[in-house]
């Protein structure tokens, strides 16, 4: 495959343990957020990142962990309303949170994703919200608090709220031609097959990101662990004979044009080894991917 396997920490019960296991087995990327593991994920990763200096890390800004709400309000970074809602992309909060994430992680994050910017946002407000957030992230880059930024979405592309060209236009408006927008993160799986189908037809967010030089992080490739239990043996054999259902599902994601990293959330060493084996195989052909789309639909 051309994609690489990275650790996603959203569903990890012990983020530090999962990161050590992944790093010791060759993973070079871990993705986290301030609200993961009950707000403890970033601090839990600090010692792991110190022990594995080549391990790259991305975090997010948007969802406010309960442990940071009072602190953020007292610091003047959060309004009481945003603290109650638990999500904020106001410039003051972004500046405060990315500085806090840097301290928690013990190093400059390689990428900071805007976490579900479509959350609780009206369509007519979205462009202004994103532009002001990009301005704050460009300022953080100029101050070397972060290295680059991206957008992590769940339904933003699929709902038609925005597309990659719109993101690039706003990033250029905020940071000029040398802006620091470097990545997008979106769900790609046997449940979220639309990006795969679009890529096969030469359009959609994965192709647009590839053409723009943005790295794509595929999140939820096993849809929260549900996919292995619903993939039939016939479908597994159609995709990759002799594989497990999880390996077949991961192979589809890793073989899709534009996907650069597949984020797997697991602390189980056997699951990680099987996933690494699946992602390390030659990519599936477009014909196989089309058959999967034809069988499952989008």
Look at the pTM and tell me if it is higher than 0.75.
yes
Q: β-strands 4-8, 259-264: how paired?
A: parallel
Q: β-strands 259-264, 215-219: how paired?
A: parallel
What pLDDT score was predicted for residue 125?
Answer: 82
Alpha-carbon separation of residue 220 from 55, 115, 157, 262 (angstroms): 21, 14, 15, 9
State pLDDT tens for residues 243-282: 999 999 999 999 999 999 999 999 899 999 999 999 999 9
State pLDDT tens for residues 206-220: 999 999 999 999 999
State pLDDT tens for residues 150-182: 999 998 888 888 899 999 999 999 999 999 999
What pLDDT score was predicted for residue 1?
Answer: 59
Distance CA 173, CA 167 (A): 10
- The residue assigned the tokens 């406010």 is 64
State which residues of the chain have pLDDT below 70.
1
Q: What is the DSSP letter of 268?
A: -
Apex CA 256: angle with CA 63 and CA 59, to 5°?
20
Q: Which CATH architecture has domain 4-296?
A: Alpha-Beta Barrel (3.20)
What pLDDT score was predicted for residue 119?
Answer: 83
Distance CA 191, CA 216 (A): 18
What pLDDT score was predicted for residue 31?
Answer: 98
DSSP string, 14-48: SHHHHHHHHHHTT--EEE--TTGGGGTHHHHHHHH
What pLDDT score was predicted for residue 123?
Answer: 75
What pLDDT score was predicted for residue 95?
Answer: 97
């Amino acid at each position: 495959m051309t994609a690489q396997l990275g650790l996603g920490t959203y569903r990890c019960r012990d983020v530090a343990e999962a990161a050590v296991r992944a790093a010791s087995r060759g993973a070079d990327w871990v993705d986290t957020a301030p609200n993961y593991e009950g707000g403890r994920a970033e601090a839990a990763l600090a010692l792991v990142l110190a022990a594995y200096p080549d391990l790259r890390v991305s975090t997010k800004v948007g969802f406010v962990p309960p442990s940071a709400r009072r602190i953020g309000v007292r610091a003047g970074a959060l309004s009481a309303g945003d603290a109650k809602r638990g999500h904020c992309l106001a410039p003051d909060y972004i500046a405060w949170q990315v500085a806090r994430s840097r301290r928690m992680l013990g190093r400059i994050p390689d990428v900071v994703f805007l976490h579900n910017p479509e959350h609780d946002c009206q369509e007519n407000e979205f462009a202004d919200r994103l532009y002001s957030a990009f301005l704050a992230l460009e300022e953080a880059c100029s101050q070397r608090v972060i290295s680059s930024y991206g957008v992590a979405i769940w339904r933003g592309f699929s709902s038609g709220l925005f597309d990659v060209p719109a993101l690039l236009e706003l990033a250029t408006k905020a940071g000029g031609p040398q802006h620091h927008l470097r990545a997008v993160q979106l769900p790609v799986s046997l449940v979220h097959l639309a990006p795969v189908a679009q890529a096969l037809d030469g359009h959609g967010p994965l192709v647009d990101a590839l053409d723009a030089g943005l790295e794509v992080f595929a999140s939820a490739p096993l849809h929260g662990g549900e996919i292995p239990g619903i993939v039939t043996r016939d479908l597994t054999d159609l995709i990759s004979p002799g594989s497990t259902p999880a390996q077949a599902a991961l192979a589809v994601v890793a073989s899709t044009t534009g996907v650069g990293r597949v984020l797997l959330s697991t602390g189980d060493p056997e699951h990680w080894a099987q996933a690494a084996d699946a992602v390390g195989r030659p990519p599936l052909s477009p014909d196989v991917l089309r058959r999967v789309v034809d069988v499952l639909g989008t």
